[in-house]
Structure 1
Amino acid sequence: MSLITSVALLVFLTIHEASSVGDQGLNLRCRCINKENKPIGRHILLVEVNPANSHCTDIEIIATLKKDGLKVCLDPDAPWVKKVLQRKLGQTL
């Protein structure tokens, strides 16, 4: 095999591996860098809670907004966020 063919094969295999890891939905880092502290409870459509894990030591609370579907990270220590979580979890039970 020529050098160019070998390099092309390695590039192809690397791209294939990267796409298969991405397809599994693995998060290898924290998603929330900035966290919202201001109360926005009435604008929240959906709440997603990601527990701490080996890739991110923080609990991440991600809210999807009603108006535009924007995802916003919430401060899990804020009292209003705890109330929103109780209300949203109460609806699903």
Structure 2
Amino acid sequence: MFDRYKASFYRLYNRELRNDPALKGQMVLRLTIEPDGSVSMCVLQSSDMNAPDLAAQVVSRVRTMNFGAKDGVQAVTIVYPIDFLPAA
């Protein structure tokens, strides 16, 4: 599911690269996915990047994601790492 949104995360990242061309690293998100597929909670759990604006934008984008409804499941909380590296 995150692969579908990878391009939008990298658009945000590439904007930040204009301000800091050396910016790279990993953000770890903790999010709760509801049975209807919506994201009810997303927080930055950790990051080795000094990019608070990018982190806020990524968290905001994840909150709009929908994983699709699943019958007979409960809400689930997952931890998901996102690696940001400049294009080679």
Short-chain TM bin: under 0.3
Structure number with the higher strand fraction is 2
TM-score (structure 1 length as normaliser): 0.24
Greater fraction of residues in helix? 1
Question: Which of 1 and 2 has higher RCO (CA within 8 Å, sep 6+)?
Answer: 2
Normalising by structure 2, report the TM-score: 0.25
